[in-house]
Amino acid sequence: MLRRMDFRWWRRSFAGAFVSWVFFFLRFSCSDKAPDFTFVKEATSAPPVISYDYIIIGGGTAGCPLAATLSHGGATVLLLERGGSPYTNPNITNIDNFASVLLDRSPTSPAQPFTSEDGVYNARARILGGGSAVNAGFYTRASTHYIKEMGWNQKMVEQAYEWVEKVVAFQPPLMEWQTALRDGLLEVGVLPNNGFTYNHLYGTKVGGTIFDKEGHRHTAADLLQYAKPSSITVYLHAIVHKILFRHIPGRARPQAYGVIYKDANGVRHQAYLKNNSKNEIILTAGAIGSPQLLMLSGIGPGYHLPTHGIQVVVDQPLVGQGMADNPMNVLLIPSPLPVEVSLVQVVGITKFDTYIEGASGLSLAYPLARRLAKSFRLILNQSDYEPFKVPPEAMAIAVDTVNAVVNRTLRAGVILEKSQVHSPQVI
Ligand SMILES: Cc1cc2nc3c(=O)[nH]c(=O)nc-3n(C[C@H](O)[C@H](O)[C@H](O)COP(=O)(O)OP(=O)(O)OC[C@H]3O[C@@H](n4cnc5c(N)ncnc54)[C@H](O)[C@@H]3O)c2cc1C
């Protein structure tokens, strides 16, 4: 919570934003009604200046349930997300297209590619639903040890899980590749066999998935169906450029009171907190996005910010240090026969806190098709005649046609090894 500027508390709460605010919601009744997304709009329709009780930056895995929760407390909530809607993109909603999204390097891709300073290729989400819209969809509960370490109430955490699981978690269908992985893990001694469970247990288990039986992805954006429509506004393609801070006489630390964001046309808007001491600006822009925005706003290493022309508001040398989101080692296991498409379902949780997971049969068709379609367009534009204008409908048909021909499903499985990465302790 930036308004109070208590960084020790805030660091911890960033890690737990998802669950802790879900607790708050539990005081209100859960709803089974169909999703109502009338409150999700393009930022181009936003007034130049607006005021809300809560301003949440980043409509990702944490931001969406948090916004839904807060909308029930009698407060008004503004959620600003730099990406678009996941519901209009079949690459996101369909399990077969998992790899396509991650390989899409276009400027509007829902997965923004980047390479870390130490050379590790990765992607960060740029879409409502955040990482849950582009990731491998594995769902699990946290360990009881982690919950204790965070100081959360175990019973409330369990209630919160039910709230989430009702909408986004499913038991996966175990087929050949995942079955072989499970048996292999048991054979090498990752024991016991815990069967299917959402709980975090040492040994081998089948966990949850956010893909339903039809292979459709359910993202954190689905949790917005719990929101109270009259109390919440979600703006898409709203890139927050700066959090505004002011110094209050008698207080050691500055307070956040508003944000500056730009819409898809590059038009600048301002959003302010309403005048109430309990109102807050909450930063849920991800492991990279949150520290980046803090630094752009003047909170960060005092020696570093001025080199980018940024005036220091608070000298906080740890901002941006030690952050990680899903780093892993990958082993590719080629197969002479086609293997089914599966994302992470089976996991081996070792006593030395590494996780062994697997996926298989990833389809690479879409990016290849797009590349071919792009070449097709370039060739047409190089003719001596008037530049050939391809209507979007025709391009879509061309892409689908090429897609059907170039069906390059990976004849392989992958085994992933991830270390125990504690949620961001320092941003
Ligand atoms: C390839 C991959 C596979 C993964 N697989 C799994 C898995 O199977 N299971 C699992 O549990 N986890 C997985 N993860 C990790 C998981 O997805 C993330 O840890 C989680 O989504 C992080 O949640 P978050 O809310 O902190 O950030 P995010 O979900 O990334 O949300 C941050 C949001 O903030 C927005 N944003 C950022 N900057 C701004 C700005 N300036 N203005 C406005 N909006 C902004 C972004 O667009 C984004 O939507 C995977 C991650 C990756 C990259």
Give domain status of residue 132, yes or no.
no
Q: Specify whether the CB–CB gap between 170 and 335 falls below 8 A.
A: no
CATH classification of the domain holding 300: 3.50.50.60
Tokens read off for 340: 């089914």
Q: How close is the Cα of 164 to the center of ligand 1, in Å?
A: 17
pLDDT at 24: 35
Closest ligand 1 atom to 325 CA: 19
Q: How close is the Cα of 111 to the center of ligand 1, in Å?
A: 9
In a shared domain, residues 259 and 391? no
Q: Specify whether the CB–CB gap between 12 and 235 falls below 8 A.
A: no
Choose the residue to mutate in 325, 330, 345 for probing ligand 1, maximizing ligand atoms within 8 Å of C-beta.
325
Q: How close is the Cα of 325 to the center of ligand 1, in Å?
A: 8
* Digit-coded pLDDT (tens) for 157-170: 999 999 999 999 99
Q: Which of the four pLDDT bands, split at 50, 70 and 90, describes residue 421?
A: low
Give domain status of residue 156, yes or no.
no
In a shared domain, residues 305 and 369? no
Provide the domain count of the chain. Answer: 2
Q: Return the amino acid letter for 368.
A: L
Closest ligand 1 atom to 131 CA: 21
Q: How close is the Cα of 15 to the center of ligand 1, in Å?
A: 12
Give domain status of residue 377, yes or no.
yes
Give domain status of residue 307, yes or no.
yes
In a shared domain, residues 244 and 307? yes
Kindly report the protein residue whose alpha carbon is nearest to atom 20 of ligand 1.
Answer: 131
Kindly report the protein residue whose alpha carbon is nearest to atom 53 of ligand 1.
Answer: 123
Give domain status of residue 36, yes or no.
yes
pLDDT at 352: 83
Among 95-99, 131-135, 195-199, where is mean pLDDT lowest?
A: 95-99
Q: Which residues line ligand 1 (CB under 6 A)?
A: 57-63, 80-83, 102, 123-127, 130-132, 135-138, 239-240, 284-286, 289, 293, 325-326, 344
Mean pLDDT of 304-317: 97
Kindly report the protein residue whose alpha carbon is nearest to atom 27 of ligand 1.
Answer: 286
Closest ligand 1 atom to 128 CA: 49
* Digit-coded pLDDT (tens) for 350-402: 988 889 999 998 765 545 555 555 544 544 444 443 444 455 666 566 556 55
* Digit-coded pLDDT (tens) for 397-419: 655 655 554 455 667 888 999 87
pLDDT at 277: 78
Q: How close is the Cα of 125 to the center of ligand 1, in Å?
A: 5
Beta bridge partners of 79: 56, 234
Give domain status of residue 30, yes or no.
yes
Among 37-41, 130-134, 211-215, 423-427, where is mean pLDDT lowest?
A: 423-427
CA distances from 221 to 30, 35, 86, 127 (A): 16, 10, 8, 9
* Digit-coded pLDDT (tens) for 220-237: 999 999 999 999 999 999
Closest ligand 1 atom to 18 CA: 25
pLDDT at 424: 41
Single out the residue of 394, 403, 396, 397 nearest to residue 372, CA to CA.
Answer: 403
Length in residues, the chain: 427
Look at 332 and 232; give whichever has higher pLDDT: 232
Closest ligand 1 atom to 343 CA: 8
Give domain status of residue 164, yes or no.
no
Of all residues in the chain, the percent with pLDDT exceeding 70 is 78
Closest ligand 1 atom to 122 CA: 53
Of 280, 315, 350, which residue sits at a domain end?
Answer: 315
In a shared domain, residues 29 and 93? yes
* Digit-coded pLDDT (tens) for 112-141: 988 887 777 789 999 999 999 999 999 999
In a shared domain, residues 20 and 102? yes
Residue 199 has pLDDT above 80, yes or no: yes
Domain containing residue 401: 365-405
Beta bridge partners of 359: 414
- Residue carrying structure tokens 């400027």: 107
- Alpha carbons within 13 angstroms on the beta-carbon side of residue 389 total 2
Q: How far apart are CA 46 and CA 43, in angstroms?
A: 5
In a shared domain, residues 12 and 103? yes
Tokens read off for 97: 């297209």
In a shared domain, residues 100 and 236? yes
Give domain status of residue 79, yes or no.
yes
In a shared domain, residues 386 and 246? no
In a shared domain, residues 18 and 97? yes
Closest ligand 1 atom to 138 CA: 8
Residue 177 has pLDDT above 50, yes or no: yes
Choose the residue to mutate in 82, 262, 270, 297 for probing ligand 1, maximizing ligand atoms within 8 Å of C-beta.
82
Q: How close is the Cα of 131 to the center of ligand 1, in Å?
A: 3
Kindly report the protein residue whose alpha carbon is nearest to atom 45 of ligand 1.
Answer: 58
In a shared domain, residues 103 and 226? yes
